[in-house]
């Protein structure tokens, strides 16, 4: 989630809807300036007893952040507390229960993306070895109750924790017990954004299936392959979901603007403090009628904050975020951007992917999304068959898109090799969660703690 930095300052006051639409249009870039921003989260645990370290305990999260600064990271504080880092490789931030996130820099190709991820993992593992800390690549804590988890000292999280139980039963699980991988991508125009949004949203269930990696809750199988994905179905219906309007004729910046204006607020940030605005209307804020800030109108910085509080499967800011994947190991952190760059950054691949899904109805898309958390690649496909029946074709389209991009490393390899972990999943027919469940029922003999030795970075 977004971390406010010391350089954040008051931006221009919003006087009209046109400013908000122009904000989305500012994201437009020619293809040669398109970049790749990859984010991944991981669970932090104490090697000795597997507990999740608090922020302030000895050898805890604060010390982890402090020691990472020797690699050139700069401290970000909130109310005097170290809560994030910034540097050449983007930013390091904390999710609500201490899940450790790298939000990578915008990079030109996937070779750079995977190298960036590798540098970060080498750094955290080096510091982790000093502190007796390990890092786990899963989509959900396999053994922790909510009550066993610490809370990080970030003001927005206190507001969200109070509000989540009012609007859904699983929102606190989303905050405290899940990890994801996502990729942020550019668009050339409003029409290009709309096509990419539609393809990304329609095929997000396939990404969820291929990356499904959260089959355990509190030490036992939970009946799902991606429980993380299931959690979003009962987090907050006002700010989650498949967004049917994206597939309607005429979808563009203005329609997404109207959606975001209808998403209830969480907070307003003023003078280093998060003001609780949970459930209030940004439309009222535009009119100067926000009850917690009477007479004050929002700034563009407030709008940026608000954009970060909606959680659909694909999210628009001044770029598009692909948000459907569970957390996982290094090779899948590299594979997720490979999938979406291959599909969305080559026009031939983008058109081929749209041809594959454009005939699905709104009901078809929702049914697929609803069935994937339990069934993954066995989810029923619109028109018959199973999701696995198109998985190889989608990967072939992505591979062709990456080959057409022709971004080569020093050895002369293009980017399509980063899809190999996904090709192997399709070849075997087993998503990561199914592999874990096989181990649980076999070699682990029902002992889920074995996951720490086998799935840590």
What are the DSSP calls for 127-177, one per residue?
HHHHHTEEEE--SB-SS--GGGS---S-HHHHHHHHHHHHH-SSHHHHHHH
Please compute the mean of the pLDDT values over residues 35-47 and round it to a whole number. Answer: 98
The residue whose two tokens read 């293009």 is 414
CA angle 8, 70, 80 (to 5 degrees): 40
Rounded Cα gap, residues 427 and 445, in angstroms: 27
Q: Is the pTM of this model over 0.95?
A: yes
With pLDDT > 90 as the criterion, what percentage of the chain qualifies?
97
The tokens of 109 are what? 């190709």
On the question of pLDDT at 193 being above 60, the answer is yes
Rounded Cα gap, residues 431 and 424, in angstroms: 9
The tokens of 218 are what? 């509190």
Please compute the mean of the pLDDT values over residues 87-109 and round it to a whole number. Answer: 98
pLDDT of amino acid 5 = 53
Mean pLDDT score of the chain? 97
Rounded Cα gap, residues 285 and 30, in angstroms: 34
- Can you tell me whether residue 117 is helix, strand or coil? helix
* Contact of 416 with 399, CB cutoff 8 Å: yes
**Residue 11's pLDDT band (cuts 50, 70, 90):** confident
**Residue 10's pLDDT band (cuts 50, 70, 90):** low
CA 388 to chain centre: 23
With pLDDT > 70 as the criterion, what percentage of the chain qualifies?
98
On the question of pLDDT at 208 being above 60, the answer is yes
For residue 270, give every residue at least 6 positions away whose Cβ sits within 8 Å of its Cβ, in sequence order, or none.
293
The residue whose two tokens read 């995977």 is 114
The tokens of 142 are what? 């396999």
Stated as kind and residue range, the H or E segment containing 394 is helix 388-405
Instruction: Give residue-wise pLDDT tens across range 388-419.
Output: 999 999 999 999 999 999 999 999 999 999 99
- Can you tell me whether residue 321 is helix, strand or coil? strand
What's the burial of 130, exposed, middle or buried (CB within 10 Å: 0-12/13-18/19+)? exposed
Q: What CATH class is the domain 17-263+310-455?
A: alpha beta
For the chain, domain boundaries: 17-263+310-455
pLDDT of amino acid 264 = 97
Q: Say how many CA atoms lie within 13 Å of 274 toward its Cβ.
A: 21
* Contact of 323 with 40, CB cutoff 8 Å: no
Please compute the mean of the pLDDT values over residues 232-240 and round it to a whole number. Answer: 97
**Residue 7's pLDDT band (cuts 50, 70, 90):** very low
């Amino acid at each position: 989630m977004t971390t406010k930095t010391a350089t954040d300052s008051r931006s221009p006051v919003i006087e009209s809807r046109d400013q908000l639409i122009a904000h989305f249009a500012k994201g437009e870039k020619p293809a040669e300036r398109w970049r790749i921003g990859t984010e991944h989260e991981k669970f932090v645990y104490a090697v000795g007893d597997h507990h999740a370290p608090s922020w302030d305990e000895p050898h805890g999260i604060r010390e982890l952040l402090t020691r990472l600064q020797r690699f050139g990271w700069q401290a970000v504080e909130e109310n005097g507390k170290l809560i994030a880092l910034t540097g050449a490789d983007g930013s390091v931030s904390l999710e609500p229960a201490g899940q450790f996130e790298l939000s990578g820099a915008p990079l030109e190709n996937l070779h750079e993306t995977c190298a960036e991820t590798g540098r970060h993992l080498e750094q955290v593992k080096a510091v982790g070895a000093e502190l007796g800390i390990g890092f786990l690549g899963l989509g959900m804590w396999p053994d922790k109750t909510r009550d066993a988890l610490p809370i990080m000292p970030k003001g927005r999280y206190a507001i969200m924790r109070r509000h989540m139980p009012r609007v859904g039963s699983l929102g606190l699980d989303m905050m405290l017990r899940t990890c994801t991988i996502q990729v942020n991508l550019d668009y050339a125009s409003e029409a290009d954004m709309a096509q990419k949004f539609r393809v990304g949203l329609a095929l997000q269930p396939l990404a969820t299936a291929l990356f499904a990696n959260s089959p355990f809750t509190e030490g036992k199988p939970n009946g799902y392959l991606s429980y993380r994905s299931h959690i979003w179905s009962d987090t907050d219906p006002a700010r989650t979901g498949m967004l049917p309007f994206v597939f309607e004729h005429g979808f563009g910046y203005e329609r997404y603007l109207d959606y975001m204006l209808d998403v209830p607020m969480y907070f307003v940030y003023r003078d280093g403090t998060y003001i609780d605005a949970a459930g209030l209307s940004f439309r009222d804020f535009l009119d100067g009628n926000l009850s917690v800030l009477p007479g004050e109108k929002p700034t563009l910085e407030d709008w940026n904050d608000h954009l970060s509080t909606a959680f659909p499967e694909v999210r628009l800011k001044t770029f598009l975020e692909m948000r459907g994947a569970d957390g996982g190991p290094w090779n899948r952190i590299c594979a997720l951007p490979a999938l979406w760059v291959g599909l969305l950054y080559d026009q031939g691949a983008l058109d081929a992917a749209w041809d594959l899904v454009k005939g699905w109805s709104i009901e078809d898309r929702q049914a697929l999304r609803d069935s994937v958390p339990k069934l993954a690649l066995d989810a029923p496909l619109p028109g018959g068959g199973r999701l696995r029946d198109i998985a190889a074709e989608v990967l072939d389209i992505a591979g062709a898109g990456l080959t057409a991009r022709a971004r080569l490393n020093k050895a002369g390899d293009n980017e399509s090799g980063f899809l190999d972990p996904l090709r192997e999943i399709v070849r075997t027919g087993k998503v990561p969660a199914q592999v874990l469940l096989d181990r649980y029922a076999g070699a682990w003999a029902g002992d889920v703690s074995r996951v720490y030795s086998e799935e840590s970075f």
